[in-house]
Amino acid sequence: MQAAYGLSTAAVWGAADFTGGIAAKRAAPSFVVAVAHGFSLILLFAFAAVFRTGLSGCGLDGLLSGVFCGGGLILLYSALSRGSMGLSAAISGVLTAVVPVLYSSFREGHASPRQLIGFAVASVAIALVAYTPQSESSAQSRGLGLAVLAGLSFGAMLVFMHLAAVQGVLPALIAMRISSTSVAVIGGVAVWLAQRQELSAKFAFLAGKTLLLAMLAGVLDTSGNLLYLLASRAGRLDVAAVLSSLYPAGTMLLAAWLLKERATRGQVTGMALALAAIALIAI
């Protein structure tokens, strides 16, 4: 079950990054995250009301995971919007997996030799699947730095999400969304104040299809968070995190299907390595 939850998380997060990345090309990333997480927070409150779930489990770990989530997504969408989507996704994906693996090795003991090999193979697979060679530019170089920070933020987010789930899955998700929405709103206000004199559509408020894309990204991202929490509770944290961090494969497949982007030989190799990594980690 942990493998099923982890791979489902990767698929849903990949779809969330695809829709969010497209929205972030049309509006400021902080606006996209604010709308996405604000909308998903409303849905979570609705679920809590329907199922009569108390919010007493909304603890510090959940709030911290949201801070890293909101900040990480703004950084990632900023990196993706600078034109180096493949390489940015590869870097952030690998680093997302590294942080929980290191944490888990200290708290849960070392994984088995086979799983450690699987983690290494998965890291290579993530990089190959997401990487698309592109000409270098100063904007892309800045984007790669943002991708590094995004990956480290996501790694910390996964650790705190795992800790928060002890108090309950729905309260953890709500606490996470409260803080991530707050971070995004603060970022959005800062961007608006800094760029309000510019007429660029890049800093326009969300509208039309862009608004729908942002809302869809929020639903998908929150659904992925739920699946990840189930995966992390079903076994070791590092296994759940590494399997979930294969999400760039989902982004790549959607780009190939909807945007008609052709997979490179490296990406095909990465997909094959991902299958091998899954077998080593989960079977």
Report which of residues 28 and 206 the model is more confident about: 28
The domain tally of the chain equals: 1
* 111-139 as b/e: b if 16+ CB within 10 A: beeebbebbebbbbbbbbbbbbeeeeeee
Helix axes 60-80, 29-50, angle to 10 degrees: 140
Query: What range defines the domain where residue 255 resides?
Result: 2-282
pLDDT at 36: 93
pLDDT digits (tens, 9 = 90+) for 219-265: 999 999 999 999 999 888 989 998 998 887 887 788 778 877 677 78
Q: For a pLDDT cut of 70, what percent of the chain falls above it?
A: 84
Question: Do residues 30 and 70 touch, judged by C-beta distance below 8 A?
Answer: no
Question: Are 158 and 114 within 8 A, CB to CB?
Answer: no
pTM of the model: 0.85
**What count of Cα atoms within 13 Å lies in the side-chain half-sphere of residue 233?**
15
pLDDT band at 123 (very low <50, low <70, confident <90, very high): confident
Structure tokens at 270: 């990465």
Instruction: With beta carbons less than 8 A apart as the criterion, state whether 144 and 85 touch.
Output: no
Biggest alpha carbon–alpha carbon distance for the chain? 57
Q: Which of 115, 89, 104 is nearest to 16 (CA)?
A: 89
Residue-wise pLDDT tens digits, 173-231: 999 999 999 999 998 888 777 766 554 555 555 568 889 999 999 999 999 999 999 99
Residue 141 pLDDT > 60:
no
Rg of the chain over Cα atoms, rounded to whole angstroms, equals 18
